[in-house]
């Protein structure tokens, strides 16, 4: 049995709690947060020891194998480095960190202490994305021309005002780090390294320090072109998250409010009926096994099989690096 603990018991911790509970070979050992009222509620529900200090938790519950870090992003590095020095394996929420310097500190600590670590990029496990990856690996697109990723969501001012860290550069990182990094990770996973970026990044509508809107053009290692559009400024509600891929022998568009549904699937090598069957198959179960559960299960398997987790810290670093490249082209426009 692999014993997990969670540090940071806000909204995202719920996904980790559910994932641990549903994963064979995983057990919850302890919880840690600075909010004592929240801890009291969770202690009643999950019946595990709770702590306001990670150091105290690790000292008093030595059976802990893995620490899930679910705090605001700017706090990841210190906690991850400390847990690694304590000999604990790590599951780190996205983004891995907010700077490349911090990601490198974490990678070095993990290597030095010979522990295993993964970063939470769960969208790779969506059934539609898995099907797209298989199609790319099979080469049925032919030569690719371009790709396009969009995150057109709403995060109103009340969302940012709920917690002082939201919308800050030091703790949140803005729409690219906090919301669109999943789409950027998918682009890197599916199409490889980005060699050039051109972008405009701005804070258009929200009263926050970080950006709420970004548009970028990318060139990938093999010459493939791409576009990225990300915002939290869509009026009233989330509109869509999408990924579109175009090649000489076919195209795919995955979309919906979250990119879980295949909207278009057309290839020269497939009949219309075959394409409809694939779309219908995804429609029957667009969410599949939750991505967080896949990541927790992968950590359990990695430890039992003495291998590295499927999603590595280098994967997390590449996503942070792409955000850094895009966000460095920030342009403030006078209102």
Per residue in 171-214, pLDDT tens? 999 999 999 999 999 999 999 999 999 999 999 999 999 999 99
Distance CA 238, CA 50 (A): 35
Quote the tokens at residue 302. Answer: 């990695």
Cα 10 to its chain centre, rounded Å, is 16
In the chain, domain spans = 2-122+291-310, 123-287+320-327
Distance CA 96, CA 307 (A): 20
Residue 227, Cβ density class (10 Å: 0-12 exposed, 13-18 middle, ≥19 buried): middle
Note the CATH architecture for domain 123-287+320-327: 2-Layer Sandwich (3.30)
Cα 145 to its chain centre, rounded Å, is 26
E strand spans, the chain = 2-7, 26-32, 50-51, 66-69, 89-92, 117-119, 144-152, 194-202, 213-220, 225-231, 240-247, 250-255, 261-267
- Pairwise pLDDT comparison (9 vs 330), residue with the higher score: 9
The answer to whether 131 touches 260, Cβ cutoff 8 Å, is no
Task: Give the single-character DSSP code of 290.
Answer: -
Per residue in 24-54, pLDDT tens? 999 999 999 999 999 999 999 999 999 999 9
pTM: 0.96
Per residue in 243-302, pLDDT tens? 999 999 999 999 999 999 999 999 999 999 999 999 999 999 999 999 999 999 999 999
The answer to whether 65 touches 2, Cβ cutoff 8 Å, is yes
Confidence grade of residue 329 (pLDDT, cut at 50, 70, 90): confident
- Per DSSP, what are the bridge partners of residue 51? 32
Distance CA 161, CA 158 (A): 5
Average pLDDT taken over every residue of the chain:
96
- For range 87-111, the mean pLDDT: 98
Q: What are phi and psi of 154, to 5 degrees?
A: -115, 125
Distance CA 276, CA 264 (A): 9
In 53-121, which residue ranges form alpha helices assigned H by DSSP? 54-60, 76-85, 100-113
- Per DSSP, what are the bridge partners of residue 271? none
Per residue in 62-73, pLDDT tens? 999 999 999 999
Q: What are phi and psi of 19, to 5 degrees?
A: -65, -45
Which CATH class for the 2-122+291-310 domain? Answer: alpha beta
Distance CA 102, CA 71 (A): 15
pLDDT of residue 334: 47
pLDDT of residue 246: 98
């Amino acid at each position: 049995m692999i014993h997990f603990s969670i540090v940071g018991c806000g909204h995202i911790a719920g996904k980790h709690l559910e994932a641990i509970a549903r994963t064979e070979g995983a057990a919850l050992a302890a919880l840690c947060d600075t909010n004592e009222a929240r801890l009291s509620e969770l202690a009643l529900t999950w019946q595990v020891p709770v702590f306001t200090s990670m150091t105290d938790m690790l000292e008093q519950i030595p059976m802990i194998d893995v620490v899930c870090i679910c705090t605001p992003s700017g706090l990841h590095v210190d906690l991850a480095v400390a847990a690694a020095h304590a000999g604990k394996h790590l599951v780190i929420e996205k983004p891995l960190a907010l700077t490349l310097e911090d990601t490198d500190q974490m990678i070095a600590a993990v290597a030095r202490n010979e522990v295993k670590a993964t970063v939470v990029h769960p969208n790779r496990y969506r059934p539609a994305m898995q099907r797209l990856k298989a199609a790319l690996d099979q080469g049925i697109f032919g030569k690719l021309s371009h790709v396009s990723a969009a995150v057109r969501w709403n995060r109103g001012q009340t969302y940012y005002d709920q917690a002082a860290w939201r919308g800050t550069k030091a703790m949140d990182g803005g729409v690219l780090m906090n919301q669109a990094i999943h789409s950027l990770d998918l682009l890197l996973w599916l199409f490889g390294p980005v060699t050039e970026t051109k972008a405009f990044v701005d804070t258009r509508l929200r009263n926050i320090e970080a950006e709420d809107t970004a548009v970028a053009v990318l060139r990938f290692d093999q010459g493939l072109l791409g576009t990225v559009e990300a915002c939290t400024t869509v009026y009233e509600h989330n509109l869509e998250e999408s990924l579109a891929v175009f090649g000489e022998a076919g195209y795919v568009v995955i979309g919906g409010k979250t990119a879980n549904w295949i909207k278009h699937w057309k290839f020269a090598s497939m009949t219309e009926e075959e394409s409809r069957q694939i779309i219908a198959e995804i429609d029957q179960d667009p969410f599949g096994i939750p991505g967080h559960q896949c990541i927790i299960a992968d950590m359990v398997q990695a430890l039992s099989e003495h291998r590295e987790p499927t999603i590595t810290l280098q994967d997390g670093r590449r996503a942070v690096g792409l955000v850094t490249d895009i966000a460095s082209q920030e342009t403030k426009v006078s209102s």
